[in-house]
Structure 1
Amino acid sequence: MRLSLIATLALSLLAKAGEVPPNDYEKYTYLVIQVDPTKSAVDVAHSLGFLYVGPVGELGALGYYQVAQTKDGIRKIAALKRRDDTLTAIQVVENHLIEHPAVQWVETQVPQKLYLKQATPDVETPGIQKLRKQYDIKDPEFGYQWHILNETPGQIGHDHNISAAWAQGVFGKGSVVAVVDDGLFYKNNDLTDNYIAEGSFDFVRNTADPAPFSESGGHGTACAGEIAGVKNSVCGVGVAYQAKITGIRLLGDAKSNSVITPANQAAGINYKFQLNQIYSNSWGPNDDGKSMDGPSELMNAALLNGVTNGRGGLGSIYTFASGNGGRNGDNCAFDGYSNSIFTIAVGALDRRDAQPTYDENCTGKMITMYSGGDDSAEGLGIATTDWTSTGSGDQCQRKFDGTSAATPLASGIFALVNSIRPDLTYRDYQHLSINSAIVVNATHPSWFKTAAGRMYSPAFGYGKLDAGRTLDMARAWKSVGGAGNVTVIDSGFKAPANTAIPQGGDVRLSVKVTQDIKNQASFLKLEHVTVTVTIDHQRRGDVSINLISPSGVKTGFQAWQLLSVAHWDEEVVGEWTVVVSDKSHPEATGTFKGASIKFYGSAKPGAVPVAPVAATTTKSGATGFVAAGVASLAGLLIL
């Protein structure tokens, strides 16, 4: 009785666990048999000379069981039971099984490769197939990374020509990009091998681990994938897939938008700046069309410190998203980060070479990069890595958009440049961006020719970066020097106090820069022009501000803290005029209290840049300029 009970229990356990694993295809051949429900599947398998594997899931209740035999065992059974020389060994075995009175059906199991039912392109283009083969790219999302190579009919060439950089053997090796954002999920296998913990920190939680923890903290993870997604079999690849990435967390998730002190913000933007070379920033002030925020005094000091002392004195490279408030009537001149002379402001461009409606205009925008457009459905945005707290495994996405998605592509191309020219300064990157950029959407009415002969647009900056063209230029580039080679001419004058802005008219203030002033400053070539104005007005949006250069180039602003890169390489000598006008809402009045203009440029070779010198004013009765202060920034917004 006791032995019978033990035997019954053993059979019961065997029926559940099986004698061999269900997926050892190298060693075993598997077959499924349908067994009379009144019979024991284990007994039937053994009587036929097979090992019992187990029920086929819930189909076991209907009599479907899997059995197995070694490859050699199959050959032996076939030799023993063969009666027809025209049959294969497996056919002989199947006949042997079906002859058993308890077996109602049999099928040999042939392993099959299954594919995710993703919205894949109908057929990968020849160019994508060629790149896959040439660089052994197995990443499943690579065919969606049109920003690398776009061969879609009607959109051919609407990409950043990344393959031209790869063809030169340049993949970003030796470069380190810090993703300053809402965290970095470095455990995603698309990022793990390129992640450096040493250069990472979470300033929100004060911990060395920058991994996101809240409901929707995958923004920085997506940015990182664009830059340095690993070439493996996960998601896609980064444009600089041999570069390294770090994570610096300054923000909460996209829903809560954290508040952080200026001290922590400043510490973050300088964190490990001898290791971290490029800081990619897809965040900024609120894009509500009302906010006028910029770097705090500490943050300005940190940016200056970064470009002066980062990278061994070559200067940290800061890219900043220009903003997503276009639908709110916002202007990136309201964003003090885009308006900084220490940063490179990046706008967005969709795959049709159109400006998305969320993108903002301003003359501080230096370049534009591809991103998802107004219809960023699955497959139309940027394909990259992803993270959500509710997801699992290595998460990917195909609809990342905004200037947030555009900025990391610029950072990635800069990582490619850094890998071949680690000696270039932060200013060299500004010059390379302007000189190598390619005009896009050339018929757009915003384009105009600058005094230096380049085309410029407040919508697109100087155009998009082409990785091959930028690298070609970088190889032969003669450095313009770092922060120590910048000289400044400061207007230093005050405007008449409380000058009323006439309705439908304007107030003008002119500043003349003479050749003597230029010589005193050892001024060689103009780069940035900043205009800081103090205006009292009831409606910010009613006021427009324009700067007219001596050559007649007019750049417009709708903000208080203004920067223009549209005068790059223009002659600084001559009369510069600030025009403040009010052409809407007669009931809303204002006064133009004053302004200051600063001209930043390259110092002459061998010269020691002098302190900013005063320019003379040509406006009768002028008593000087008053510079507007910049408010401290507490709330940061993901773009």
Structure 2
Amino acid sequence: RHYIFRMTKTGTALQVAAQLAGQPGVKHVEPVLKRQLSKRLVPNDPLFSQQWTLLNTGQNGATAGADINVTNVWDSYRGSGIVVGVIDDGFQYLHPDLAANAVTNIHYDYRDNDSDPKPEGTGANADSHGTACAGVIAARGNNGIGLAGVAFEASLVGLRLIGGTAGDTQEGAALSHSNSVIHIYNNSWGPNDDGKTKGGAGTLALAALKNGVNSGRDGRGNIYVWAAGNGGLNKDNAGYDSYNGSIYTISVGALNDLGQKADYSERGACLVVTAPSGAESGQNGRPQGTTTTDVAGEDGYNNSTKTVGPVGPDELADRNYTQNFNGTSSAAPVVSGVVALMLQANPNLGWRDVQEILIRSATQTDPTNSEWRTNKAGFKFNPNFGAGRVNAGAAVALATNWANLPTMTSTASEQASLSVAIPDNDSNGITRSFDLSASNLRVEQAVVTVDITHPFRGDLVINLISPSGTVSPLAELHDDNNADYQAMTFRSTFNWGEDSKGVWQVQISDRRANNTGSLTRAKLEVFGTTPSTPTMLAKTLGSGQFIFGVTGTPALAYTLQVNTNATATNWTTLFSTNAPASVFDLIDSSASGPRRFYR
């Protein structure tokens, strides 16, 4: 049952709400305060009505509301002052819907070694991928033409890298390019999505990522957004890709217009969030894709072989735009745009703050999916979705008053020089335990590195189990007939907010017959922060009730204990709760006796 109490004064309402919260049988109390309502900005761009990724009204059979909740943000933030580097096959910076946001003085072409990143090729061979990504991020909105990007007043820098041959040197340079000026790097590229290619990132690229988060953006850290990959139908996993496997990147999966995992999108315990993209490639997939900019004057995605009309049937009549962009390549720039809005709202966010805000604010998409799990800290994760669908409105709201996370630290345990046989075709496999009982971290991410000899590594399933029982699927059964995992690193975001203390387990099993292998090395490294000692401010609410204002660490579990004697050794636990914010309240509604002592 729901009850509404009307008060004449705001202060009275808050006081009564606090008193009611401690009463038996009361599940939830909140003050309902009057607030000024305002209209949401709806851009005047003629194609905006098709941009279901930004405002899903049920276009073409889509699920209304399965969007990124961004239109209310635009009244206050549109990405102004934030610079996004688009590492891609170039982008058409003179496109009529991109030119106003292009920062021409720091573009660079790492394939031709010049300062002009315009896409190459003509006709059907024109490079069009980067132009489409740039439009998703920051096509100039509310200008009466075309469409609107997520952060439609953000600045764009073209960094031409992919589409031809590029080595580790070029990758490292692109990922470091002007990192004091560029805030966010969008990366809609990676290794082959065949389910058999592992790793991918070279030494210099990985070093650039680490340098970027430590030194870029005036020490607050560059934000690296990465497409999870499109090998879902090949049973590829984003975690097999060392770009997505880096703790320094935001791994992004893709959704269709129903809010479900796009069939091509790769799973993985490394996923942070997912974003709308669409245009599934499977036989029964949803066909509706993303509307964005296309190379003007060339046959890009919207080419001369397509039947056009006002909105189709195949493509748009205006060939400067396309309605068929898709893949995690389209999902990643959605998140880059959301991060631009967050950084405009709070430029002081660190790179880890951005990750946590995205996790905290994500919407649990496709909630009936059976793989949703809640970790010990109360965060929901799913190998198909990460923490869920990116939610711009919620993310910006959190960012506005966010207290930055403390300095990151880590603890590690390694088992080397092993020779542990992995039983053939045995789901029980082997388990290696890592005792981190001496540690005291609020976990953010966990990384497992293994050396395994096996002639058919696709037979192997690898899981990480935290002391709280959270299972992170690191490697899954798939068709990879290549041999061995050598110095293979897997990353999990699924333990975010949990306590590191206790025994962690790495389970490895062989799920197909006729091939055997052995584990020769395993290492676990857990990254997070040392929890701060909480402070408590006690306030009397009334007879038999006390409220405590606590300053602590968000999502960490806190236990309130009580005793009638300050020197006693036996304390009674009243309850434990996960801190919802850095400042929160604990209430003892059963106080009795002349005095009580708390800790």
TM-score by length of 1: 0.69
Residues 507, 351 of structure 1: alpha-carbon distance in 2 compared, 3 angstrom cutoff: same
* Counterpart residue number, 1:598: 525
* Counterpart residue number, 1:468: 393
User: What is the one-letter code of the residue matched to 2:386?
Assistant: G
Tell whether 2:362 aligns with 1:362: no
Match of 1:490 among 399, 412, 423: 412
**Preserved CA contact (<8 Å) 1:307 1:313:** yes
Quick one: distance in 1 between partners of 2:352 and 2:150? 22
* Counterpart residue number, 2:17: none
Summarize the alignment of residues 89-488 of structure 1 with structure 2, pairs less than 5 Å apart: 135=41, 137-152=43-58, 155-167=63-75, 169-214=76-121, 215-231=125-141, 232-252=143-163, 258-374=164-280, 380-387=288-295, 390-391=298-299, 395-481=320-406, 485-488=407-410
User: What is the one-letter code of the residue matched to 1:179?
Assistant: V
TM-superposed CA distance for 1:378, in Å, is 11
User: What is the one-letter code of the residue matched to 2:73?
Assistant: A
SS in 1 for 2:169: helix
**Preserved CA contact (<8 Å) 1:176 1:245:** yes
Indicate the percent of aligned positions where both proteins have the same amino acid.
Answer: 36
Structure with the higher fraction of residues in helix conformation: 1
Q: Which runs of 5 or more residues in structure 2 are unaligned?
A: 1-37, 301-317, 477-487, 534-599
**Preserved CA contact (<8 Å) 2:85 2:159:** yes
TM-superposed CA distance for 1:194, in Å, is 0.3
**Preserved CA contact (<8 Å) 1:501 1:592:** no
Quick one: distance in 2 between partners of 1:491 and 1:471? 37
User: What is the one-letter code of the residue matched to 1:216?
Assistant: A
Match of 1:499 among 411, 421, 424: 421
**Preserved CA contact (<8 Å) 1:190 1:394:** no
* Counterpart residue number, 2:589: none
TM-superposed CA distance for 1:588, in Å, is 1.7
Quick one: distance in 1 between partners of 2:297 and 2:511? 50
Structure 1 window deviating more from structure 2 (384-393 vs 558-567): it is: 384-393
User: What is the one-letter code of the residue matched to 1:170?
Assistant: Y
Deviations 1:323-348 (A, max 9, x none): 10011111111111111000110000
SS in 2 for 1:139: coil
SS in 1 for 2:378: coil
TM-superposed CA distance for 1:602, in Å, is 1.7
SS in 1 for 2:257: coil
**Preserved CA contact (<8 Å) 2:41 2:71:** no
**Preserved CA contact (<8 Å) 2:126 2:299:** no
User: What is the one-letter code of the residue matched to 2:527?
Assistant: Y
Aligned-pair Cα RMSD in Å? 2.1
**Preserved CA contact (<8 Å) 2:441 2:500:** no
**Preserved CA contact (<8 Å) 2:278 2:286:** no
Quick one: distance in 2 between partners of 1:535 and 1:599? 21
TM-superposed CA distance for 1:448, in Å, is 1.2
* Counterpart residue number, 2:490: 562
Deviations 1:303-354 (A, max 9, x none): 1110011000000000000010011111111111111000110000111111
SS in 2 for 1:576: strand
User: What is the one-letter code of the residue matched to 1:594?
Assistant: R
Match of 2:501 among 567, 570, 573: 573
SS in 1 for 2:425: coil
SS in 2 for 1:311: coil
**Preserved CA contact (<8 Å) 1:216 1:389:** no
SS in 2 for 1:362: coil
Deviations 1:580-635 (A, max 9, x none): 10021x222211212100001124569xxxxxxxxxxxxxxxxxxxxxxxxxxxxx
User: What is the one-letter code of the residue matched to 1:412?
Assistant: G
Q: How many residues align?
A: 459
User: What is the one-letter code of the residue matched to 1:531?
Assistant: V
TM-superposed CA distance for 1:496, in Å, is 2.4
Residues 154, 500 of structure 1: alpha-carbon distance in 2 compared, 3 angstrom cutoff: closer
TM-score by length of 2: 0.74
* Counterpart residue number, 2:465: 548
SS in 2 for 1:299: helix
SS in 2 for 1:580: strand
Highest Rg: 1 or 2? Answer: 1
Quick one: distance in 1 between partners of 2:432 and 2:241? 24
Quick one: distance in 1 between partners of 2:154 and 2:259? 28
* Counterpart residue number, 1:536: 453
Quick one: distance in 1 between partners of 2:240 and 2:107? 30
Quick one: distance in 2 between partners of 1:298 and 1:274? 19
**Preserved CA contact (<8 Å) 1:251 1:259:** yes
* Counterpart residue number, 1:29: none
**Preserved CA contact (<8 Å) 1:218 1:388:** no
SS in 1 for 2:333: helix
Structure 1 window deviating more from structure 2 (135-144 vs 359-368): it is: 135-144
Quick one: distance in 1 between partners of 2:366 and 2:360? 18
Quick one: distance in 2 between partners of 1:415 and 1:508? 42
Quick one: distance in 2 between partners of 1:382 and 1:237? 12
Q: Which runs of 5 or more residues in structure 1 are unaligned?
A: 1-130, 253-257, 607-639
Deviations 1:167-189 (A, max 9, x none): 3x211111111111110111111
Quick one: distance in 2 between partners of 1:592 and 1:174? 50
* Counterpart residue number, 2:434: 511
TM-superposed CA distance for 1:216, in Å, is 3.2
Quick one: distance in 1 between partners of 2:289 and 2:422? 47
Residues 349, 366 of structure 1: alpha-carbon distance in 2 compared, 3 angstrom cutoff: same
**Preserved CA contact (<8 Å) 2:138 2:153:** yes
Deviations 1:55-91 (A, max 9, x none): xxxxxxxxxxxxxxxxxxxxxxxxxxxxxxxxxxxxx
SS in 2 for 1:568: coil
TM-superposed CA distance for 1:265, in Å, is 0.8
TM-superposed CA distance for 1:137, in Å, is 3.3
